[in-house]
Structure formats: structure tokens, C-alpha cells
């Protein structure tokens, strides 16, 4: 028996979970059902969860170790919490299709994002189902990309931040510690075994073995798949709304239409494994 309710946002992708209180420690049975729901719907949404950071961390910890974002402040007591605070002066620049920190060798399993302050309207987040995006490709493209690898890289501005925060002054040393990884263009989801398109506009640099121009052209086509409405769902936030996405098979886009109004969200991130 499932203790919570599921209300789909679209027929196959994204669902609202109701009749659940995340400030409670949930039973292993409920957590198992929640994980199955995440695997099925890929992104789960919750409303009216007046929880604290410990609750948010406990929810994430059930799925795996929590990750400290590479550019998060090192000295903060809650280093696992990534706080994104936006207003007239600060912008997050995450209004592009991406999966989180794919430039890591082992990118996250998923993230749990909780809204603290939201504008009266605007600041929605879009999600794209990258398993559906792969399935929708023609056989010729699938043949070209099955087995191909792509280089993912740090955005240069983030390297500077990460170096400052770690006290690393030598760029070469930093690059030795954090080399740009290669990931399969089509990854298999470690739990479902399903193939997902795994390149994104924010962090993918080039497809290995192709001329840059050919790689750019193919990547531009693959990036466009996330922008197809049939693969998407769109979430309108309220204070205490939560989105929990599977970062292995989805991408997201934060709509930057609300500035200069304030929007504050807090994310915890669950460690994942190396894409295969
Ligand atoms: C993130 C992110 C989207 C948003 O937290 O990784 O991209 O809508 N946020 O704030
Ligand atoms: Mn993101």
C-alpha cells in the first residue's frame, strides 16, 4: 500500500506527491515507494512542506551521501546546502538547459530543491525527460551517438570561485585534481537500465573523435531535444514547494522572468555514480 498520493503533471513525466509530511521520518516502506515513484516520474513535486534543513537532508540521505557543491562556501556550517538567492542585483544564470554539475566524474543522482521565497508569479522551473528525448530520436542519429563519448567541462568562472574557496592558487594543480571528464552521450540509467540522452548546453564541450564543427552541429541538434514541449513539464513554485529530480535522466531550466523580484531556493544534492 502506498501511503501518499500521486498526481501526474503530464501523462508520463513529473508528478505531485500528496498526503505526505516530509518533516516526519518516513518508514523504509514509504521511502521505497517514494524511490519507485521517482524512477517512474523522474521528478517529484511536493507542496506546503514547512520543513527544516535537517528534514531536507534526511530525505536526501536516504538515497545516498550528500554532495557539497564545488562552488559552495567551504566554511558554511551547512556546506551541503546550496542557497540560490536572487533579486534585482543577483542572478543565478541557470536559465539554460542543464543537468547539474555534469563536469564531475561522478555527477549527482539527484537534487532536492525547496522554495523559501518566491515572486507572486514567475520563476517557474522547466524539466525535460531525457529518456523520452532519446527515445524520440531517429535510428540514424541513435546509431551515430550510441557508444560515443563527450567531454564535459567546468565553466571558467566557476574554476576561479572553486580555487578561491579551496585556497588553490595554481590553475594547473586545480586542473590535475579536477580534470574534465568524458561521459557517454547516451547513458544507461543505473536503476532502470533505460537509455537517456546525456549532453547539456551548460557543461558539454565536444563529442570525442569528431571535428569541432561537426561536434558543434551534432550537439546543437541534441541540445534542442530538451526544448521540445512534449518532453517537458513546468512547475510553478509556492513557498515551501519542493522539487526532487533524478539528475541522471532529466534536465532543467530556471525561467529568469521575475527579476528584480526576490526568489530564494535551497538545494541539497545527492551523490551519484559514474555514467555508463
Ligand atoms: C538548481 C537549479 C533551478 C531553479 O538548483 O540546480 O538549476 O529553478 N535551480 O532554481
Ligand atoms: Mn541546476
How do residues 198-249 score in pLDDT, each as one tens digit?
A: 999 999 999 999 999 999 999 999 999 999 999 999 999 999 999 999 999 9
Return the best residue to mutate from 14, 86, 100, 113 for the ligand 1 pocket (most ligand atoms within 8 A of CB): 113
Domain annotation covers residue 20: yes
pLDDT recorded at residue 2: 58
- In this predicted structure, what is the pLDDT of residue 156? 87
Q: Tell me if 268 CB under 6 Å of ligand 1.
A: no
The SS3 assignment for 235 reads strand
Q: Is residue 276 part of a domain?
A: no
Tell me if 125 CB under 6 Å of ligand 1. yes
Measured by CA distance, the residue closest to atom 4 of ligand 1 is 254
Q: How many domains does the chain have?
A: 1
Give CB contacts under 8 A, 24+ apart, made by 143-148.
144/218, 145/185, 145/186, 145/197, 145/207, 145/218, 145/222, 146/186, 146/195, 147/184, 147/186, 148/184, 148/185, 148/186, 148/207, 148/208, 148/209
Average pLDDT of 129-157?
97
CATH of the domain at 113: 3.60.130.10
Is residue 180 domain-resident?
yes
254 lines ligand 1 (CB under 6 A): yes
Residue 118 CB less than 6 A away from ligand 1:
no
**Residues 6+ positions from 97 with CB-CB distance below 8 Å:** 128, 200, 201, 202, 223, 226, 227, 251, 252, 253
Ligand 1 within 6 A of CB of 94: yes
Ligand 1 mutation target, pool 43, 81, 84, most atoms within 8 A of CB: 84
CA of residue 24 to ligand 2 center, whole Å: 27
Q: Does residue 109 sit within a domain?
A: yes
Residue in 269, 264, 229, 19 with CA at minimum distance from that of residue 119: 264
The band of 22, judged by pLDDT with boundaries at 50, 70 and 90, is: very high
Residue 275 falls within a domain, yes or no?
no
User: What range defines the domain where residue 220 resides?
Assistant: 5-270
Question: Which residues does the annotation mark as catalytic?
Answer: 98, 100, 252, 267
Q: Count other Cβ atoms within 10 Å, centred on residue 251.
A: 31
Amino acid at each position: 500500500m502506498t501511503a501518499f498520493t500521486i498526481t501526474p503533471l503530464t501523462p508520463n513525466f513529473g508528478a505531485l506527491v500528496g498526503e505526505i509530511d516530509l518533516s516526519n521520518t518516513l518508514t523504509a516502506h514509504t521511502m521505497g515507494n517514494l524511490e519507485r515513484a521517482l524512477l517512474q516520474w523522474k521528478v517529484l513535486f511536493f507542496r506546503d512542506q514547512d520543513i527544516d534543513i535537517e528534514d531536507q537532508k534526511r530525505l536526501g540521505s536516504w538515497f545516498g551521501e550528500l554532495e557539497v557543491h564545488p562552488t559552495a562556501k567551504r566554511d558554511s556550517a551547512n556546506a551541503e546546502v546550496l542557497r540560490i538567492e536572487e533579486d534585482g542585483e543577483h542572478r543565478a544564470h541557470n536559465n539554460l538547459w542543464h543537468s547539474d554539475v555534469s563536469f564531475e566524474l561522478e555527477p549527482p543522482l539527484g537534487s532536492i530543491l525547496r522554495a523559501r521565497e518566491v515572486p507572486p508569479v514567475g520563476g517557474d522551473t522547466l524539466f525535460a525527460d531525457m529518456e523520452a528525448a532519446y527515445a524520440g530520436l531517429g535510428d540514424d542519429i541513435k546509431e551515430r551517438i550510441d557508444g560515443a563519448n563527450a567531454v564535459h567541462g567546468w565553466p571558467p568562472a566557476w574554476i576561479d570561485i572553486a580555487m578561491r574557496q579551496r585556497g588553490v592558487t595554481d590553475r594547473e594543480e586545480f586542473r590535475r585534481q579536477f580534470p574534465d571528464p568524458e561521459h557517454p552521450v547516451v547513458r544507461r540509467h543505473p536503476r532502470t537500465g533505460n537509455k537517456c540522452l546525456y549532453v547539456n548546453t551548460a557543461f558539454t564541450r565536444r563529442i570525442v573523435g569528431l571535428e569541432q564543427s561537426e561536434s558543434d552541429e551534432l550537439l546543437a541538434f541534441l541540445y534542442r531535444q530538451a526544448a521540445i514541449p512534449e518532453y517537458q513539464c513546468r512547475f510553478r513554485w509556492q513557498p515551501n514547494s519542493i522539487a526532487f529530480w533524478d539528475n541522471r535522466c532529466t534536465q532543467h531550466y530556471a525561467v529568469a522572468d521575475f527579476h528584480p523580484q526576490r526568489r530564494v531556493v535551497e538545494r541539497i544534492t545527492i551523490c551519484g555514480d559514474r555514467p555508463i
